[in-house]
Chain A
């Protein structure tokens, strides 16, 4: 079965760090673009970061740039989100998602999300 499973969420104090993991099964994670999207409970979806399948530059939302780092380990078929200098406003459910997106010939295509994990809750509070 094709699925994504996030882990690593929890309670952390402001200024602290946390690393989220997203293990893929049923497909090779490194062959696809992967993203993190977050959602404050009861609110809408906010894109956080994306990494392409071709190993190109990762991209980040301005709200997390310089604090969060997206990466993946092909040997573990796992995506990560290293979150440093956490703020109260980073409190949310974090979803990883798979995308068929790619960039070629100066254009980027198909950057929607066709498979989502169940999410992991990150709470930043003192």
Chain B
């Protein structure tokens, strides 16, 4: 099973600042990585797939990078609606499909 580890667990950021979230895989997942956003009381929403491709309707301030075992989600200028929990998910080697433990982005 591929273990996905996200860091930090919590990220405190001021509106307008840049946020950088990390996701590490226990073995290479190539570029088969997705990022999701989940706001309180809501279901997850796909942000990024293929490590760097934005899903339909996702603003350009969200960008993904990386391949192999190290991945980054960057939010260039945090808006109020971006404060949420973010999860990465690998789909390179499964079953099982595996998620990271999440990073909570909170207001500083």
Contact = CB atoms under 8 A, between A and B. Distances in A.
Interface residues of B, number: 22
Given A111-B91, A112-B91, A113-B34, A46 B46 contact: no
B87 A44 contact: yes
Interface in B50-108: 55, 87, 89, 91, 94-102
Contact of A50 (B46, B97, B99): B97
Contacts of A101: 91
A61 B43 contact: no
Interface residues of A, number: 25
A39 to B, nearest CB: 9
B87 A114 contact: no
Contacts of A27: none
A44 B97 contact: no
Interface stretch (A68-76, A84-92, A116-124): A116-124
A75 B91 CA distance: 29
Contacts of A117: 43
B39 interface: no
A36 B9 CA distance: 25
Contacts of A62: 96
Contact of A44 (B43, B94, B101): B101
Contacts of A50: 95, 97
Contacts of A45: 36, 44, 87, 89, 99, 102
21 contacts: A35-B97, A44-B87, A44-B99, A44-B101, A47-B95, A47-B97, A59-B95, A59-B96, A60-B95, A97-B44, A101-B91, A112-B49, A112-B91, A113-B34, A113-B36, A113-B46, A114-B46, A116-B43, A116-B44, A118-B42, A118-B43
Interface of B: 32, 34, 36, 42-46, 49, 55, 87, 89, 91, 94-102
